[in-house]
Chains A and B, each alone.
Chain A
Amino acid sequence: MAVEAIAPAKPAVRYRDEFAWWDRVKKPLFYGVLVGWSVIAVAPFYLTVVYSLKPLTHLYEPPFLCPVPFTLENYLKVVTEFRHLFPRWLFNSAFVAGLLAVVRTLFCAMGGYAFARLRFPGRDLLFWSMLVTMMIPGQVTLIPNFLIVRQMRLLDSLAALIVPGIAGAFGVFMMTQFYKNLPRELEEAAMIDGAGWFTIFFRIVLPISRPALLTLALFTFQGEWNAFMWPLIVLNSPEKFTLPLGLSWFKGEYYTVYSVVLAGSMFNSVPILLLFFLFQGYFTRGIALTGLREG
């Protein structure tokens, strides 16, 4: 393309004329900001790791950066206390979060596409009602939703977590915003070729939506993995618990045995962090490989 041939040389010269000072401070400034925030973001976790490896009597004692005196007591307590149920909780959490990450992302993309591209009666009303539903706090819809799930005979089963979660206003809203920004050229070309809406969506739109889909899947997984309030209300049997629910056993009314709580929290955080590190590869590549970036 012609643009590419000209672009590198000329504008670069212009920059130096007017914003030379900026180029000098830019790099150190950005690195400073990035390193600074990295420390802020990670320090609490680092401290959690360190102090979960110390005995309770050293809960506030320096040194901050290394676990001295060292003990594995807290972790052993968590593991031995729940050795039978722990793998079960881990599985339940991973199963629900994984399934919903796939299902909800797909369903939300479908809904978002309909809102963004298709014209149909009731669209505006539905879209605004959807926005309104996002504004009602979960604590209050809890009771009616509990009654519905009971009516469906889903109480005390993982299905009680899955059925209400197959789609959500947040996801549909996010995908709507995404599709509104997506250039229409590809779809218009397909439409001229006589393709139907479903063909366009599943064959053309869905593949190029990968960055948004992966982002939404990541959010969904993370949200479901950490969900507490709803599972708390609908699950009764310990063998059906998800991980956060199981771990909440550590929070007794009077027993704030912090070192153990810190160790327990690592069991909740580490799997999701590991998954995020693994998933991040796809996540970044998804953005890089997409047809959205030209040039």
Chain B
Amino acid sequence: MKRFRLLLVALGLALAACAPAATPTPAVTREVVTKEVVKEVEKPKATVRLSGWAANPQETALLESLLYRCSLKNPDVVVKYEPITGDYWAKIKTLVASGEEPDIYYMDIFQFPFFVAKGVLVPLDDYMARSGVKREDFIKTLIDAFTGPDGKVYGIPKDFNTLALFYNKDLFAKAGIPEPNENWTWDDLQEAARRLSDPAKGVYGLGVPADAGRFPIFVFQNGGRIMTPDFKDTLLDSPEVIEAARFYTSFRAKRIGAIPADVGVDWQGTGFGQGKLAMVFEGGWLIPYLREQFPTLRWGATFPPKGPKGRGNLIFTVAYVISKNSKNPEAAWKAIACLTSEESQTVVLSTGFALPSRAKLAGHEYFKNHPESLVIFKGAEFGTPFMWGLRGDVVNDQMAKALERIYLEGQDVAASFRQAAEEVRKALKEQP
């Protein structure tokens, strides 16, 4: 009995010991200011929380350096960075549902429609007007993408990416064919893939994953769309899409293209680095990966080829948004304004893996030495945001499955995409 009571006391002590006010570690001291401290000092300091995903160490380092710069510029605003690991959207939706979300958080364009429809974000137009930030300062497609149906801006794009055609210079030299250029057509792509492939050695010309984040550029180049402009219906069974899918899947059927599993990797970027895929469509995120993991690889990047109906690309973009539950939207706005200022965006550009959202930086010197970044930056001119409406997950899922059925089960292209369209329509019809 005595022992039991002792244990209870120990438990009580232990619980007290791990109550919220734990001592912060040196690494994050500058970001951690507990509320008690604020009260004692009584300075007009405002703490806002910021959450994003930590996709890779470089991105975290970039954000931390930006936050540091901003803390010097806005000494009255303390930004506490709370990275979310694991499944970002599951966590952020849970936090929003219970009103515990951070003041500022990352918003992917893919998820944006639902958050806007539910009115959990603060419209930013007034803040922009007061601090002299104009819509025109940002690349039009990006700021338009984060504009709600009511015409108000709900997110300031922090950076973006598009797809470029990355190619392995050594493999091109070995095959004795000229390297890709911006005037390439679908035929050039196919011909090069044919000559670069050597299935016996496990080398394939082009990466053609069953990935809804890659395939649509072929649809756009073929003059098609994934969804109708109002996102009320899908066009996955339209002739343009089916024709694009025929072309896209023909690479693997002819053994001049491969999916990542064919070359034993999770992601085609790794296959590209290992020299098993001569060409891949990827974004700027591939650049630091290649530099770090495959420093000896000689590679180049150019625009994706022109299709029968011209150019087409996907735009992946993320914005900073302010939560409706924020107790201090003014301070949050100050932080966002600083993080997306021209100065900060120049820092973003210099990292090479994400492109700045500020239109003015198109003429920046960095691009002269880094043509591959310019390719990705300019991709926005003829790109479509990676967003398919409120049921985007179903559209993505069905698009990937349509390709998988063709790849893994040998199903007919048209039948497979018709089935996908039918499933998407079923989901769209549901009255949630």
B300 within 8 A of A: no
Q: Are A99 and B14 in contact, CB atoms less than 8 angstroms apart? A: yes
What 0/1 pattern do residues 9 to 36 of A give for CB contact below 8 A with B?
A: 0000000000000000000000000000
Q: Are B18 and A239 in contact, CB atoms less than 8 angstroms apart? A: no
Q: A95-B18, A162-B14 are in contact. Are A143 and B54 (CB under 8 A)?
A: no
Q: Are A85 and B269 in contact, CB atoms less than 8 angstroms apart? A: no
Residues of A within 8 A of B24 (CB): 239
Give bound CA distance, A88 to B25, whole Å: 8
B20 within 8 A of A: yes
A199 within 8 A of B: yes
Q: Are B18 and A158 in contact, CB atoms less than 8 angstroms apart? A: yes
Q: Are B18 and A85 in contact, CB atoms less than 8 angstroms apart? A: no
- Chain A 142-188 residues near chain B, CB threshold 8 A: 142-143, 146-147, 150, 154-159, 162-163, 166
Residues of A within 8 A of B26 (CB): 84
Residues of A within 8 A of B27 (CB): 83-85
B285 touches which of A84, A154, A228, A254 (Cβ 8 Å): A254
Give bound CA distance, A237 to B91, whole Å: 14
Give bound CA distance, A254 to B102, whole Å: 25
Instruction: Flag the segment in A117-125, A211-219, A245-253 that touches B.
Output: A245-253
Q: Are B85 and A245 in contact, CB atoms less than 8 angstroms apart? A: yes
A198 within 8 A of B: yes
Residues of A within 8 A of B53 (CB): 253
What 0/1 pattern do residues 244 to 284 of A give for CB contact below 8 A with B?
A: 01101101111111000000000000000000000000000
Q: Are A84 and B22 in contact, CB atoms less than 8 angstroms apart? A: no
Q: Are A239 and B32 in contact, CB atoms less than 8 angstroms apart? A: yes
Q: Which of A147, A163, A255 has the most CB of B within 10 A?
A: A255
Give bound CA distance, A142 to B86, whole Å: 15
B293 touches which of A157, A163, A257 (Cβ 8 Å): A257
A-B contact count (CB 8 A): 116
Residues of B within 8 A of A150 (CB): 98, 100
What 0/1 pattern do residues 82 to 95 of B give for CB contact below 8 A with A?
A: 11111100110010
Residues of B within 8 A of A252 (CB): 54-56
* Majority secondary structure of chain A interface residues (helix, strand, loop or mixed): helix
Residues of A within 8 A of B28 (CB): 84-85, 237-239
Q: How far is the CB of A107 from chain B (nearest CB, A)?
A: 9
A236 within 8 A of B: yes
B289 within 8 A of A: yes
Q: A239-B28, A240-B22, A254-B269 are in contact. Are A163 and B94 (CB under 8 A)?
A: no
B7 within 8 A of A: yes
A232 within 8 A of B: yes
Q: A254-B55, A254-B289 are in contact. Are A248 and B85 (CB under 8 A)?
A: yes
Residues of A within 8 A of B1 (CB): 198-199, 202
Q: Are B14 and A232 in contact, CB atoms less than 8 angstroms apart? A: no
A56 within 8 A of B: yes
Give bound CA distance, A89 to B252, whole Å: 45
B contacts, CB < 8 Å to A: 1, 3-4, 7, 11, 14-15, 18-20, 22, 24-28, 32, 49, 51, 53-57, 60, 80, 82-87, 90-91, 94, 97-98, 100, 102, 264, 266-267, 269-270, 274, 285-286, 289, 292-294
Q: Pull 8 A–B residue pairs with CB atoms less than 8 Å apart, ordered by A.
A: A103-B11, A147-B98, A150-B98, A238-B28, A249-B60, A252-B54, A255-B56, A257-B292
A contacts, CB < 8 Å to B: 56-57, 60, 81, 83-85, 88, 95-96, 99, 102-103, 106, 142-143, 146-147, 150, 154-159, 162-163, 166, 198-199, 202, 228, 232-233, 236-241, 245-246, 248-249, 251-257
Extra 9 A-B pairs, beta carbons < 8 Å, given A238-B82, A254-B267: A85-B25, A157-B22, A159-B20, A228-B86, A236-B82, A236-B84, A238-B83, A252-B54, A255-B56
